[in-house]
Amino acid sequence: MSRPNLPLNLLPNAPIAKKQPHTLNTHNKSRTDNYYWMRDDERQSKAVLEHLKAENTYCDEQLAPMKPLQNTLFEELKARIVKDDNTVPVKDGKYWYHSEVRGDDEYSRHYRSTSMSADDKQLLLDVNKIAAGYEFFELGEVALSSCEQLMAYSEDTEGRRIYVVRFKNLETGEMLADVLENTEGQIVWANDNKTVFYVKKDLQTLLGYQVFRHQLGSDQSQDVLVYEEQDSSFFMGLGKSRDESLIIIDLATTETNDTWVLDANKPNGEFKALMPREEGHEFDVDKLGDIFYIVTNWQAKNFRLMTATSQTIADKTQWLEHTAHRDDVLLEGVELFNDYLVLSEREQGQARFVVVDQHNNRMALDFADPCYYAAVAMNPEPNVQTARIYYSSLTTPGSLYDVDLKTGFKTLLKQQKVVGDFNADDYQSERLTITARDGTKVPASIVYRKECFNKDGTNPLFQYGYGAYGYTIDPSFSSTSLSLLDRGFVYVIAHVRGSEMLGREWYEQGKKEHKQNSFNDFIDVTKALVAQGYCDSSKVFASGGSAGGLLMGAVVNQAPELYCGVGCHVPFLDVLTTMLDESIPLTTNEYDEWGNPNDPCFYDVIEAYSPYDNISAQNYPNMLVTTGLHDSQVQYWEPMKWVAKMRELKTDNNILVFKTDMDAGHGGASGRFKSLEEKALEMAFFITLVNKP
């Protein structure tokens, strides 16, 4: 697409934001933010909404030549999805549960039956019906009472992850009058089939901080507060123990966990702390029978598995070691069965499972691909001899297996069907190790279509990254990526520091004062792939969302010359200002991740890389920036301000467009087909730039 050789702010119709200086003073340092006015917590400001609409109009105008390709890609992506599909039934109690989608339906229907064949299926919930009339709809959690005749479900109709809970009598099909508002979306039933517990949100910070008890048949105003967390740095969640004997309140910061429990048979009792809260102690605990199982970092950076009883759980010194700490193996979790444990582990970046029987005999489950994703799937009943495992790789569609826990034999129950002429043998995946500038070996997972790739420096490359919160982006199959691979793109995931790909140390070396390592790793992976002939240096593209959007923002400031185009989605860009403002949702929870800039040391650390604060007068790549007006995690004004400042300072005439979904939140558009439009938009953006004369 040809463009006039003019500064972008002189191009026709480019929205130019007004500059209204706002001074921010911290630690005797002063910053001027000309676009601070764009923040509107109520999302009602006429000036803000008009500017967002102007940006959307400009985006549509600039990308109009790409619209036919976007439509082609959307139909391509949609055509690969099986229109009539269903999940594999899973047994829980007396019934087998599954869901189905049909035709052009955006959402699922949920059923149960008395056998796996589902011949007598009963409709529990048609999400298409309850979502009708809403621009955005997300089904939160579905929870059944112990008697399996009462169902609670939660729904979000704005995209802010504020859920309403509703109830249904499955015997009569009637909706109950009970409605619970402003919740986190989780519902836990006590064993009396008439009492539920839920977490209520602070509507200012959007943090769940109170647990309430609700009695069916009563108004929410009569609900009883049973726990309130005073420390706003903790996230709060609810669950039930594996043996369903305990209702559990899970509290977690980035570096500390706490757990409170209540006898599920005595819902009117009091929650008690399972053990003393200890700063820096991270753990996950579950219970089966008389034994507590604790995955803990106590004297174990990569975690170990300990056991305890109700008499010893409060005293760590009395715990017994089940699986020891290992310097080269990260213990990620454990699934409890009556006769077995299934350990989820990670070694050299690769996930694996180890089955442990009652005699401590251990059996590892092996997979063949050079890089893959695997996870324990739904296993609601502990008294079974098989476990469901989900598996996928960059070339293998998602697959569900039943694994015999005695022999390790895997039975394929279902593999994701890719409609069309897809053949896994046409594609090749690789796991590379890239040496970063400080000598650290950084893993990278790569996939390409064999017939389109010659490793001669001619292919376009799409590089994805995240690198925060210890969250690992495993290499898994995506039918949408085929549209890029089939057009000659090489797709790579850069497993930068900040994840737990290579263990806990890998995470710690990509957070707080070490955050710059994440950006260096991403940049150095790009440089290495260019040098090794995986791609054409003029056809490199990058994308990331949320904390991955921060990664993109930092990378384009520090190495803009490497990238032809960048996708930056629901991005965390104004790190310093946000982390100094405790009124913004989730800020206090983030101190353990980024550091607290109220401390002068961390102020300087964050200021050095914060994407918004480091925009300079230089050339930048072509950029597509997206957000949701109702995003509750990264506020819309962060990318809005960033784009405005970028327009002011950038010295090139490359494309910079900003699109706001006026109905969606952090997760983007809802529905299985509508969300594909966003993917098609970015793909069309990149492909057009590749083919630009």
Distance CA(609)–CA(617), nearest Å, equals: 16
Distance CA(27)–CA(40), nearest Å, equals: 26
The tokens of 219 are what? 């108004």
Strands 540-545 vs 461-464: parallel, antiparallel or unpaired? parallel
463, β-bridge pairs: 492, 542
The tokens of 541 are what? 């593209």
Clarify whether 41 is annotated catalytic: no
Q: How far is CA 403 from CA 182, 231, 407, in A?
A: 40, 42, 8
For residue 547, the surrounding DSSP H or E stretch is helix 547-558
Distance CA(188)–CA(184), nearest Å, equals: 12
Q: Which of 77, 80, 675 is nearest to 420 (CA)?
A: 80
Q: Which of 258, 234, 157, 240 is nearest to 195 (CA)?
A: 240
First to last CA, the chain: 8
Q: Which of 658, 653, 484 is nearest to 569 (CA)?
A: 658
Per-residue exposure over 96-110, b if at least 16 CB sit within 10 Å of its own CB, e if not: bbbbbbeeebbbbbb
Q: Which of 176, 174, 122, 167 is nearest to 142 (CA)?
A: 167
For residues 17 and 644, is the Cβ–Cβ distance under 8 A? yes
The residue annotated as part of the active site, out of 479, 569, 666, 670, is 666
Tokens 């890998």 -> residue: 506
Return phi, psi of residue 382, to 5°.
-80, -20
Clarify whether 666 is annotated catalytic: yes
Long-range contacts made by residues 80-88, C-beta under 8 angstroms, separation at least 24? Answer: 80/418, 80/419, 80/420, 80/422, 80/479, 80/480, 80/482, 81/419, 81/479, 81/672, 81/673, 82/417, 82/419, 85/417, 88/400, 88/413, 88/414
Beta strands in 232-316 (DSSP E): 235-240, 246-252, 257-263, 272-273, 283-288, 291-296, 304-308
The residue annotated as part of the active site, out of 478, 546, 610, 632, is 546
Distance CA(506)–CA(500), nearest Å, equals: 6
CA 259, chain centre distance (Å)? 23
The tokens of 147 are what? 């008697």
Q: Which of 640, 651, 654, 479 is nearest to 549 (CA)?
A: 640
The residue annotated as part of the active site, out of 402, 574, 631, 661, is 631
Q: Which of 567, 527, 564 is nearest to 551 (CA)?
A: 567
Backbone angle region of 301, left / alpha / beta, with phi > 0 → left and psi within -120 to 50 → alpha:
alpha
Annotated catalytic residues are: 546, 631, 666
